[in-house]
A and B are shown apart, each in its own frame.
Chain A
Amino acid sequence: MDLFEKTGSKILDSLEGVGGTIVTLFRGLYWFKQTIKYRALIFEQMLFCGVESIPVVIVIALFTGMVVALQTGQALARFELEGTIGNVVAASICREMGPVFTAIIVAGRVGSAMAAQLGTMKVSEEIDALEVMSIDPTRYLVMPRVWALLIMLPVLTIFADLIGIIGGGVIARLQIGVSYYTYFDGVMSNLEIKDIYTGMVKAVVFGFSISAVACYQGLHARAGAQGVGRATTRSLVFAFLSILIFDYFISAIFY
């Protein structure tokens, strides 16, 4: 009985969290109408997002491209199809690896920092102070963060795609023995608009879910330093979950 009760209340908690996250997102989107007024705050968040994630994105994207090229290159070589390696690497990076890995990096570095920051503000009564000054936290804090990730995630994803494709090219040349010309010709001739488009849709959806989850968890942190830690962890876990779930469904819809 106790187990049922505990499981039940955990499930209810999660559902409440999902509902709250969606409400937070929509409140943030509602305030997009005041974008101009808050451009400085939005820009600040974008900068933070870029500075925090670009170094990691470079490293991860480069190695992802290299691994994909190495693995598929060897398999393709067995059938003497290594000439098509460019197509395979580009498609899998643009559709899948680029958006997902970038989102996971951003969730880990930026999302959790947002949750920690808002959580700290919550426990030190700063959020209450905003409320009392009639400054809606969903306008002043959530909206700029949603905007920032909405812009930065696609930008970082394109960046990661490029780096990944270049990394793949280097390995194709050095390890598989495919010329740069053949590789990039394969990339350009077979990469469909749809591959890039799907990747961008994913990036946008991930941007929404990371920012909404981080803001909701931060704004609902419980009192004390422990509450902030818990909010940060939960924000990470829920962001990862939502990234994987949305990734599956978007792929299923487009292919």
Chain B
Amino acid sequence: MIEIKNVYKKLGGKEVLRGINLEVQDGELMVIMGGSGMGKSVLLKHIIGFLNPDSGDVLVDGVSIPGCSRKELYDIRKGYGVVFQSPALLQSLTIEDNVALPLKEHSDYSADKIGEIVRERLHWVKLYEIEQKLPSELSGGMQKRASLARALTLDPHLMLFDEPATGLDPILTATIAQLIVDLHGRIGFTSIAVSHNMSFSFKIADRIAMLYNGRIVAVGTPDEIRGSSDPFVHDFIHGIAKKE
């Protein structure tokens, strides 16, 4: 379970998070929605332990992330799978080596076994015969999927997605959404995804949290959010809907 308790964070003189409270249950797929620059990525960085709150606490399975040492964080993060807003693949390694990296670092598997797992993960994200290519030789969408495959190599129990749908065409967006739902069903990880893409979020979410002005203004199932009377939620959904 992930508990975000009254988290405040000021960055560059701006109060980005102003008392965030949110609980994510085990096995739940939570989507945090909010406009650009609202602090979604900043919030995720608190769960990863890249940023510490000015006040408040972030608990992952009862462990306070801001209280962790460097070494403890490294141990905890072995159970995380993180997909960044940018693909963040190592440009000097082939796709195969990128996806294999966590296994090479943290397991004693043989090269054959690692190769097998790598191919399996790449097939999960529908990437075929690109193992020997460098990231720069792939399209943005393919890099994004390779980065998803990499995040899945260690069978994480917590998946964090930062804008998994950006840079993808509508069909791929739908594919990725379906993929996340399938993988979630298969592996049963807890998941927090951050997005401002409406259709994507509504498709994958068990529950949606709306982030606005540094606070969570609404939490609920997609149906509850759709029917929300909160003016911001209404405008946000409506606004995006108008554009699309």
Contacts and interface: CB of A to CB of B under 8 A. Distances in A.
A133 interface: yes
A125 interface: yes
Classify chain A's interface size.
10 to 19
B193 interface: no
**Chain A residues touching B, majority SS:** helix
B50 A136 contact: no
Interface string B92-135: 00000000011001100000000000000000000000000000
A131 interface: yes
Interface string A131-152: 1111110001000000000000
Contacts of A128: 50, 84, 88
A124 interface: yes
A129 to B, nearest CB: 4
Contacts of B82: 129, 132
A56 to B, nearest CB: 24
A151 to B, nearest CB: 21
Contact of B74 (A120, A121, A124, A134): A134
B19 to A, nearest CB: 26
A133 B101 contact: yes
Task: List the 3 closest pairs (A to B, CB-CB), nearest first.
Answer: A129-B88, A125-B88, A134-B74
Interface of A: 120-121, 124-126, 128-136, 140
Interface of B: 48, 50, 74-75, 77-78, 80, 82, 84-86, 88-91, 101-102, 105-106, 147, 150
Given A121-B90, A129-B89, 7 more contacts: A125-B85, A128-B50, A129-B84, A129-B90, A129-B147, A130-B90, A132-B84
